[in-house]
Amino acid sequence: MARLALALDGPTEDRILADIVEHGHTIVARLVGWNDLLENLDVLGPEVAIVGAGSGTLSAELLSACDERGVRLVALAGSDAERAHASQLGLHEIVDAAAPWAEIEPLVSGGVPVPSRVGDVRPREERTASVVAVWGPSGAPGRSTLAVNLAAEIAAAGHTVALVDADPYGGAIAPSLGLLDEAPGFASACRLAGADALDRAELERIAQRYTAPRAAFNVFTGLVGPSRWPELSRDRVASAIATMRAWVEYVVIDTGFSLERDEELTSDQFAPRRNAATFAALAAADRVVAVGLADPVGLSRLLRGHSELVELVEHERVDVVVNRVRTSALGIDAHGQVRQTLRRFGGLGDATLLPHDSKATDAAILTARTLRDAAPRSPLRTAIRDYAFEALLPTPQPERRRGLTIAALRGRRPAEVSTGRYA
Cα–Cα distances in Å, from 91 out to 14, 106, 137, 295? 24, 16, 32, 42
| Cβ contacts of 242 within 8 Å, gap of 6 or more | 284
Question: Which pLDDT score, from 0 to 100, does residue 107 have?
Answer: 84
Sites in the chain below the pLDDT cut of 70: 110-127, 226, 262-272, 395-423
Q: How far apart are CA 199 and CA 232, in angstroms?
A: 18
DSSP 344-396: HHH-----EEEE--HHHHHHHHHHT--HHHH-TT-HHHHHHHHHIIIII-SS-
- Asked if residues 342 and 320 have their Cβ atoms less than 8 Å apart, the reply is yes
Query: Which long-range contacts does 326-333 make (Cβ < 8 Å, 24+ apart)?
Result: 326/294, 326/355, 326/356, 328/356, 329/294, 329/295, 329/296, 330/294, 330/295, 330/296
CA–CA dist 57, 36 (Å, integer) = 9
Widest pairwise Cα distance in the chain: 83
- Residue pair 344/323 in contact by the 8 Å Cβ criterion: no
N residues, the chain: 423
Q: How far is CA 331 from CA 93, 294, 309, 327, in A?
A: 55, 11, 29, 5
pLDDT per position as a tens digit, 334-367: 999 999 999 999 899 889 999 999 999 999 999 9
The 8-class DSSP code of residue 324 comes to: E
For 91-118, write each residue's pLDDT tens digit.
888 899 999 998 898 888 754 333 333 3
Instruction: Please state, in angstroms and rounded to a whole number, the distance separating the CA atoms of residues 353 and 229.
Output: 32
pLDDT at 110: 59
Classify the C-alpha dihedral 407-411-413-415 as positive or negative.
negative
Nearest alpha carbon to residue 116 among 26, 201, 185, 223: 201
Residue 103 · residue 58 · CB < 8 Å = no
Confidence (pTM): 0.67
Q: How far is Cα 82 from Cα 57, in angstroms, rounded to an integer?
A: 10
